[in-house]
Each structure stands twice: as structure tokens, then as C-alpha cells.
Amino acid sequence: MKIKTLCIPPVAAALLLVSVSACRAHGTACRIFEGTAAVEASYDDGRPMAFCDVEVYFPAGEKAAYFTGETDRSGRFSFIPESDGEYRIAVDDGMGHAASIVFKVEKGKVSAKGSEKEDPGSGQTETGTCIFKGLGRNAGILVGTSMIFGLFGLVSLARLYGPAGRKKGS
């Protein structure tokens, strides 16, 4: 009985391995080039979000866009901020994928909000979302972790239902 109880987590992990490996979603990412109001948006598979709609919000919390534009073929967009404050740039491909990033302008100097803590030295930050689900890069981590646990789960299943497992269980 004890062996069977101990096997529940690995069995669950094995089942999740089968489930999550079916995940084929691609999320988005958006990064800012250090010291500039230039951003680059891309899909998780590395493809740029080319020729996508861009909306710039100022201040960042505003609901109406301050102005609009379009990314280039590399998924890049830049502008010259007129005033100090927080800006938010939202990129939307119109097909269900969107990415956004917030950055601060102080005395004409651009800095990505919160980037120093998350990625020291690079001056870059990333916030990607799929409109429907926030899988994105987390999906890769989830799949990888599940694969590791899943392998243990499959081994445990074999041991549980194999001749040795039945003998110990009884």
C-alpha cells in the first residue's frame, strides 16, 4: 500500500508528460534596446513579429493610444519620446498574438522598467503574452520539467505493476 501511495506523484507526472508534450503553442516576447525607445517583438520560435500593429500609450496606464504605428520586417519599432514618464508599447499581429513592454523616460533617458533586477547589465526586459493563454516561454519550462518527472513516472509505473512491485505491494 505504501509503495502504491508513493507512486502517485510519479504517475501523475507521467500522465502530465504525455499531456504537456502535446503543447505546440507559441507565445511572444518584447524587448527594449538599452537607452533607446526602440523595441523588438518576436514569437517564441524566434520569428519576428513583422509588420504588426503598434500602439504607444502615454502615460502607460492610459486606455487610448497616444499614437500608433507598425513594426518593420524585423519586428522592430522606435520613436523619440517627447516627454518624461512611463510609456507602454503594445504590438499586435491581429491573429491572436500580442506583446507589450513598459519603459520609463527620465530627463530624456530611457530605461526599461524593472529590467535591472531581472536581467542585470543587459538593460532589457521581456513581457510576452498570447491573447488567449499566457503559455509563452513558460510552456518550454513546463514541458522540460514534465519530461524529467515523466521519465521517473514511467519507471515507477513499470516497477509498480511489474512482478517485483506486485510482490512488495502484497
Partner 1 sequence: MRNILLIICVVAAVVPGSAAAHEHWFVLDEFYPAEGDTTAFSICTGHNFPSSSMALKDNVIDRSYYIRPGPGKAEVLESVIGERSRTGVFIPEAPGVHILVFVLKRPKAEEPSFEAKAITVAGGGTDDSERYIIGRGLEIVPAVPVTALRKGSDLEVSMILDGAPVEGEIVLTSKNGKSIYRRTGIGDPAVLPLTCSGICMISGSYGGRECSLVFSVPDKKGKE
Region near partner 1 per CB under 8 A, out of 16-24, 32-40, 60-68, 112-120: 16-24
- Is 133 a binding residue for partner 1 by CB under 8 A? The answer is yes
Q: Is 43 helix (H, G, I), strand (E, B) or coil?
A: strand
Using an 8 Å Cβ cutoff, are 55 and 147 in contact?
A: no
In angstroms, the CA 55 to CA 145 distance is: 36
- In angstroms, what is the minimal distance from the CB of 5 to partner 1? 7
**Sole binder of partner 1 in the list 59, 85, 96, 140 (CB under 8 A):** 96
Identity of the residue, 11 or 37, whose beta carbon is nearer to partner 1 in the bound complex: 11
Torsion from C-alpha of 113, 115, 121, 126, nearest 10 degrees: -120
CA distance to 57, 127, 161, per residue, from 30 (Å): 15, 6, 48
Among 4, 109, 166, 168, indicate the residue that binds partner 1 (CB under 8 A). Answer: 4
| Residue 75 or 81 with smaller CB distance to partner 1 | 75
Among 22, 63, 80, 167, binds partner 1 (CB under 8 A): 22
Stretch that binds partner 1, among 47-55, 78-86, 103-111, 114-122 (CB under 8 A): 47-55
> And the C-alpha cell for 136?
509563452
168 near partner 1, judged by CB under 8 A: no
Answer whether 131's CB lies under 8 Å from 97's CB. Answer: yes
In whole angstroms, the minimum distance from the beta carbon of 108 to partner 1 comes to 32
Q: How many CB atoms lie within 10 A of CB 142?
A: 14
Applying CB under 8 A, among 30, 99, 102, 139 the residue interacting with partner 1 is 139
Give, in order, the Cα–Cα distances in Å from 73 to each of 28, 40, 52, 66, 159: 16, 10, 9, 23, 54
Binding site for partner 1 (CB under 8 A): 1, 4-5, 8, 11-12, 15-16, 18-20, 22-26, 45, 47, 50-52, 70, 73, 93-96, 130-133, 135, 139
